[in-house]
Structures are given as structure tokens and as C-alpha cells.
Structure 1
């Protein structure tokens, strides 16, 4: 049975009835040649040539086309075709051709770089991506050995040969460095698959993938991780800056690198870290008024890539002011440092020699890591602030009591003996606070801390251990050296010329030295404290004298008439005081009151005190506060305390219409009533910003007119007699 037919079904029929129409066209020329050859034989007697092998499609009984291969030969006068069914082999061949076509298509269109080599590693083919990646065309490298160094750095050739041998054994994967035609080195992943023919690896397909971007991302993640880890480690902020610089150097050129931070409250930009080939000094400058590249980035909150020509153009447009070192080949790249959309500074890299060193890609790269850098800096800064505050006094910057006591425990061992302690107390801090406000008291403490720091040695431990108390630990310091240290501080205070004068230092201090005689720290501290208070007692009078002189100078500086007025007032007040029978103690207080009754005016603004026209109600209310201010000042100074009440009430009126408490008659302290009379008399005869001077006669008439309302009438009567008698003596 042939193609499903019985022999009798085919006998007598033309084979062309079963042959595919397209194949008939191929058979007709063959038969024509056969007939021509037969005729030629009859004429010449030569044998017919064997017919060519032909292939055609033959329809089987089921109507399917099957492939046949036939060879025709003459047998007598007949043409005999010997045919065999090649349908399966044809299908196999077509499948192979299709597979080869698909392979070629996949090979050429693969997004990965492919190279096809023989068993000796000679290149048979490459795909377009290989050309794109390495720069070589097939014509340039076909037949060359893949391991001859064209795609290998010199130190990777042996590695390449080893990998080729491994590839013939089976699939492998490897990451390494390879070289482009132009010499550029780049990271790749290499995998290879052997092609087995007749049971042996005869061919090899190598696959190369550029992993530059992936490696950059891995490096980036590593950089970010290392910066974050550093921020969370116990290293200092200074060490963190170095870590940031080192890590960024693995992803971008940081030969010239700096970090700038802004303090808007203090209106300044400073540079906590910088490395630069040309500039060594990075000065602190004003944030609001400066127009540098750095401030431009911080103010705009945007990155900036700027070469020298762009820089000069921005200067010409008035956007920037020239500053810092530049060259014609300079390029500058800065990105803002942001924490929760708040710009805290800028991070900058630059080059003076290669204007093409940085690109927009680097801008995006640096901008990407800047957030992590800013967060790390902010975290470490906050951590150091907290740490600093836990051991430092926030006002003076000196160590606090907790740290001082901790260090005292640490140093209280024989290897640090002799160990000195100085205890120091600020005299009159409360007076300054009450008179000029706590801000001025704070200035006094800050000023003292600066003086102490300048007088101290490296290794001395200075601390503010209370409101007005300071302590200094002096390791390996003899008692004589501690005494000399105290004298140095005293001298610095005596030579102090700070203004205003009330900030000039008046202190009490004492010291003691531990050489093993004090069994515990408390007894050691108590001894130093006792010596300090002993010094305070010995210097008590000079301390009061200091404040008296300070107040006198301040009043004189504010009103040149004050000094003469106080002297005249003392003379008149003492005359009146003696006539009314005051004791020597009272007369002493009256003399002091004459000098200090208006001390509270120190706390009144000049705009009110020296106003040349009528005060407004609010200004007058402020002016009236001077008596209470003076009272608070006086009561806090032991030698002035006895006249504090008199200062408070020296503006009370006999009829109760005065201030601040509206006292009436003899409820007003006597010394206050005396000062009220003599002060009014002298002031009326003196020129003031708000009035002119009157004559002595007019002043006396006004005093007499106000007797019983503003002034004590009895005191007025006595005072008028004193003035009359003085006038009589002057005439004689």
C-alpha cells in the first residue's frame, strides 16, 4: 500500500493527478529533457544520462500532501522512477531551518551582548548589542580569539581564559571588569552556555551585561548605609563630616569638597568641614547680605551646576558677588541640604582643572544622597547639642555642676595631687537683674565666663555650679599656684573696662588644695566654699563701694547735672536734718539718700528721661516706676538697704497725692520728706530738658506755696529759715 492506495487504484492513472500543482512545473522540464535525450540516443547512439534527483509533493489517499524524493532512470524504452517518502525527514529539516532562523533572530535581537565562539574560543559571530557595548564590529573581530585581550584589562586576561574553560563544562555566572575598544573599563556580568554537538561542547555563547548602573546603585546604597550607620554611632560630628567625605568619594570626585550650614537666627553661614586645593580659609559670613554660589543654593533650595563662564555671567547680571578662588577651567556643583523641606545648608564639590568633571547625572546623584547627608548631620548635631547641654551650662557654655562633680570624682586620686579648687561668687547679680533686667545679668555672667576662660590653662575645668557661683578644678596644681591663679583672676577683674560699667566684674573667691588630707569630696568643696565666703566678708565694704561708684558713674553719664545736684542736695539735706534733730546714723543715711534717691532712673529709657516736652500718660507711668526700681536695687545691697524705703517714698506728697503708694502726712518716712523739699528746691533752679531754670526767689515761693499739699509744712518752715539765714551770712 502506497500513500494509502492499493496498486489497482493507481494503475493506469497519470502520476500528475496526484502531484502538487506547483511541483508539476518542476517535473515538466525534467521529462522534456528526458524525451530530448532519447531522441538524441536514436540519432547518435549515446546512452541517456541518469535523471536528476527530484523532490515533489504527492497527495495521499486522505488528501494530505506528503514529500517524496525520486530518481528517474531508463529501463528499456521506459522511464522508471524510484521514490521514497521523505515527509518526516523534510519536517525535521524544516524544523531545524526554522530553529536556526529563530536562533539567529534571537541572537541578533538580544538586549544583552552576545558572542558566538568555537571550541577554541575564536569568534564566529557577535550581535549588535555586543558592538554597542564594546565598540567592535563583527568585521573587526571575527576569527579573533575572545581571550586575546581586546575586551580584557591586562590583569584580567588569565581570568578570561579560565572562564572560557569553565564555560565549556557547563553554564556559569561571574561578575568582573571588562574593557571597551576606547579603553574604558566597566563592570559586567558574564554568563556562558556551551552548545553540544554529537555529545561534545563544540560551540559557546557568551553573554555580557553592563552592570554599571546596578553597581552604582549598590555603591550608592552602601554609601547611604555607611553614612546612616555613622550618624547612629558614638562618633563626633567632626568625625561624621570626614566619614561623609570619604563615602561620597566612592561615587563622585570629592577632591575639593565642603559642607556649609546656615544659622538664620544668627544670620550666618559657616563651614564646619572643608577640603580644598586652593582655599584654606572658609570664613563665616552673613547669610542675608552675601551673594555667593553657596548662599544662592541655600536661598533657592535648588541644586546648581556652574562652570566659570556661567559664574562670570551671574556676576555680570548682579545675581552673585565675586568671591573665592576660580580658574577658567573651574566647575562647581552644589546641592541644598534639606531636612523636612527646610534647607539647613549646602554640600559642594568643585574642580579647578577640569570643567567637564561633573554633569547633570552627578547633580542628580549628589542631590539623591543629600537628603541622607542632611538627616545624618541634623541627627548628630542634635545628639551633640543634647550631650553638650547635659554637661554644659546653656548660658555661659562652661561645664555644669553635674559634670564638675563627675570630674571631681575622677580627679580625686593621688596621681592628680596636688588638686586645687577655686570657688567664685559674683557680687551683686541680683542688683543687676532687678535694675537692668535679667538679660543684663546674663551678660554679666557670660562676660565673667570669658574672663575666667582667658585666665585659665588648658586642662583646667571651669563650671557654673549655681546662679552666681562658679568653680574651677586645677589638676596637679600646688596651693601657691592656685593662689597665683586667683590673683590673676582678680587682676583681670580689676582691669576690666567693659561698658556699660555695671557689667564690670566684682567677685569673691577662695581656694583650697587637696593633697590627700580630705577624706571625701564634700569636705574638700566645703573648705573651698568657706574660704570664698571668708573673702566675701573681708571685701564687703569694697563691694558696696564698688556699687556706689558704679551707680554714681552711671547717673553722671546719663545726666551731667547729677553730680553737682547730688553734692548740693547733700549739703541742704544735712542742714535741714541737723535742724530737725536727726541722729548721726540718720544723717549718714540722709547723706546716702541724697546721692541715691533717684538711682531708679537708671532703669528708665533715655527717650523718656530726656524728653524735651510733656510726657504722655504711658511715659509718665513708666517714669513713676523709678522709685520702685530704686527700692529693689537698694534693698539687695546691705549698705543701701537702710534707705530702701526712703527711696521708694521720696515722691509721696503730704496730702496723699504722690506716688507710688499715695502715703499721707507723717506716714511718709521723715528722710523722704526732707529729700522731697530740698530736691524740689534745687531742681527748680536747674535747667532740665523739659524746663528752664527759675530764680532762687521763685523757687522759694513755689516751695512755700506747696507747703501742706506737696511738702511737710513744718519742714518747709524750717527750710525757709535755713535758706534765709544762709543768704544773710552770704551778704555779710
Structure 2
């Protein structure tokens, strides 16, 4: 009888323990944002407030980093809510990898994350924010802006959030893809003069390449607008189109102006120009996203391109646009080693390689634009109509 009673008590304790574990798991599940894998807004506010009270009692510093995804609304409109969720999850994962175990990370808006860093000063918070911006600029699929606020000893979360939000807004106005911090104005986008100077250097190096770039800019801008991209992204893509061949300044004249096909060694040198172009552009503050587009300007939709063998939507959209526009202009231009193709043959080539070399959506937008801008030959139409009626 005694052993039976003890067995029942043990089973009861085991059941209570299991219930406690399940309850803890349930609470943890309810506190986590399922898309970002970080605390929900309510849970973040609760945990962050507690952390700030602790730093205030100990007389320690604390900092808050507010992170916002650049162009999030445009991304959702262009590729759907699922793409936005994927981007948010990617940013949250990178942020979690950069913060410390005691930091509090949460989702505070549709495209916004925040981290409270107990015991961190401005330099420590800035280091985390700048590493996050740099990593995302390198790997994509999106860039972010960040605003930093430092606790002055009040321990008030709302005040920190308001300060960080105001600084973040300045970073966004300056062009995004940067960190704003107290006492430091975010640098603005590189002037048109810097981009123009690089384009001039390319044109002086090879006049034909410079003229080709101008044609690609016109096509790429038209395609980007046709895809309903926002003005900021259109401008970045236009810059990538203008400078997509900037790496050719490092290619020897003997290869660049060779009147015949390149051999394997020469082709290897030529293929390296996109990576060289990226290095040149990354030396210009604020041109990181453009540099990434230039690096991947020869990736193919099916993964057979270079330098990194990216495929599909892993290739920056700007790179996919420039690739198709570059190909069309190259095919319809006379080169030292071949005559220009007709418009009809170039269009057929683009259509044939849609889904392999080229993004089908980009090809559709480019062909639609080319069709719209071609002059209508009304005389030919009347003749064709008359011939059809006669038959």
C-alpha cells in the first residue's frame, strides 16, 4: 500500500514537471515573433525595461540600436509578403549572431528590429550596427539603416526608442544603408560628381565602352521603372548600369581591343573585371549596394554565370536588369570581331535565353519597353492589311 502511494506521488510530481515544461515552452512560443525568431513587441518592452532598470541600479551604461530594412515596402510590393518575411528573418538572424547573450532583441515594427545592450557604450553599439550594415551589404538580399541611442541614466525605454528613431530617420533620409549615431550626422549618398568621374575615367580608357554604358543606363532605368521600383532603387540601378564595366580599366589593351575571339587565358582576365569593379566602387562611401550589383552583373538565372555562380533571386535585381540590357545593346552594336545583330535577332536571343541566362520577368519588361518605343510603320501595316484582304 505504501509503495503504491509513493508511486502515485512520483507520477504526480512527474506530471507536474511536464506541465511546467510545457507551460514554459508555451510562454516562450507566445513571446517569440514567429517570422523573425526574436521577442514580440510586448515581450521586448517587458524584457528591455527590466534590463534598463538593472543597469540603472548598477550605475552602468546601456545602448539601444534600432534597425530598419531599406525599401521594405517596395520589396513586399515587388515580390510579395513572403519575400518580406524572408528578408526580415535574414536580418534578424544576422543581428542575433552579432549581439551578446545578455542583450535583448525584439521586433518593434513591420520592418524594424531593436536591441537593448546593457553595459554597452556608444562605441560598442556602433560596432554592432556597422558590422550588421556591412554584412548585409555584402550578402544581401537587402540593406538596412540603423539608429543608436545611449541611456543617460534615466533607464527609460520610450525615451531611448524615440531618440534612436529620430537618428534612424536621418540615416534613411541620407540614403539608407548606413548607421546614424548621436553627435554624428550620417554621410549623404556619394555625389553625382563622384559617379560621373568614374564614368569619365571609363570612357577615356575605352570610348566604345563609355558609349555602350550610356545606352545600358537608358535601358536599365526604363526596365526598373517598368517593374515599379522606387526612385531610390532606380537611381542605384542606373549607377550600376553606368559603371558596370568599370573593372575593365584593369584589363590590358591587348585583350580589351583584340579584334578576334579571346583565348582561355585572356577570357579568364576579362572575367575578372566584375570583381575588380566591385573593389573600385566599394572604395567610394555609399556605393556598397551599387558595388554588389556590379560584382554580380554576369551571374545567370540558372546559376551558370560568374563570379559566384548565384542563381534566381539570390542575384541582386539590379544585376539581373543590367545583364539583360547590357546583352541587348551589345548584340545590336558593331564590335571589332563581328557585325551588329538586327533588333529582331537580338529580341529572339533574349527570349530564347529567358529562364536560363536571363530573369524571365526582366526579359518581359525589357521586351515590352523595346516594343513600345519602336516607331510604328503605318504604311507597312496598311500594305499587310491590304494583302491579307486580297487573299
TM-score relative to the length of structure 2: 0.49
TM-score relative to the length of structure 1: 0.28
Structure with max Cα Rg: 1
Greater RCO, CA 8 A, separation 6+: 2
Q: Which has the higher strand share?
A: 1
Q: Which has the higher helix share?
A: 2
